[in-house]
Amino acid sequence: MNANVTSMIANLHEKPDEASELVDEILYGMTVQIMEDIDESWVRIQTAYRYEGYCKKDNLLVDEANTQIWLQEANHFISQSFADVLQQPQIQSTKMMTLVKGSIICSNAIEELDPEWAAVQLVSGEQGYVRRKWLQEKIPENSLPEQQLRENVVQTALSYLETPYRWGGKSPLGIDCSGLCSMAYMLNGVFIYRDANIVEGFPIKEISLEHIQKGDLLYFPGHIALYIGDNLYVHSSLGGNEVNINSLDKQHQQYRKDLAISITAVGSLF
């Protein structure tokens, strides 16, 4: 059985207990598969990128028919850090809900008469309005040329600069290291593994450090970063408390020796 996320952010826990570890966040409009019905409050789910955990039922709309329609028609995501969905196409209108970057929305019924506002449909079927410039079309899987994808992934990761570190986070409210790298790829049509490992069955393959290019991934013990060129990498650093840029170059002021000397692998989609 499939379901859609109906809250701004649905927490994915290690156990069916709100006090247990936050292992991931699922954003509005994302589709998940229900693997097990635990009790009246909890289900075990699997995400589209094959990550599993426990989620509260009140964050989900369980309707197989609706989910199948949503998968076909929800063809945009929120590209702004935060975006209000309003009842009317005017800034003074009542807010229906707030969505974060990466949330999925249906905007098939875009009203071309208004250059500023787009009509959107929520998972519930309700219609609202979002600023048109805050919507971006979903990118089909593996549809971009290599160099464009590399550049897009880097720019997407950089758009999260200074976002606070949040263990298990995956939004501009807070994001962790693998959340940053996986979102940078997901928003460009590629699902990579959600954690700081290279895992068989996912598209990232190990390469040598000497062949690293923009958009490739640097792996450290329990940590992951995205290479942006010129010996620089962007990452959500627990030590730095936010998304920032560091260098592999000893002469650079942003050099971090603890990471530079502990690279365990380099991964690439190509």
What residues form DSSP beta bridges with 100? 82
Instruction: Name the DSSP class of 65.
Output: H
The three-class DSSP label of residue 66 is helix
CA 53 to CA 14: how far, in whole Å? Answer: 6
Dihedral sign, Cα of residue 177, residue 180, residue 182, residue 185: negative
Dihedral sign, Cα of residue 127, residue 132, residue 133, residue 139: positive
Identify the CA nearest to 30 among candidates 171, 160, 181. Answer: 171
Is residue 226 within 8 A of residue 157, CB to CB? The reply is: yes
Active site positions, annotated: 177, 223, 235
Is residue 195 within 8 A of residue 49, CB to CB? The reply is: no
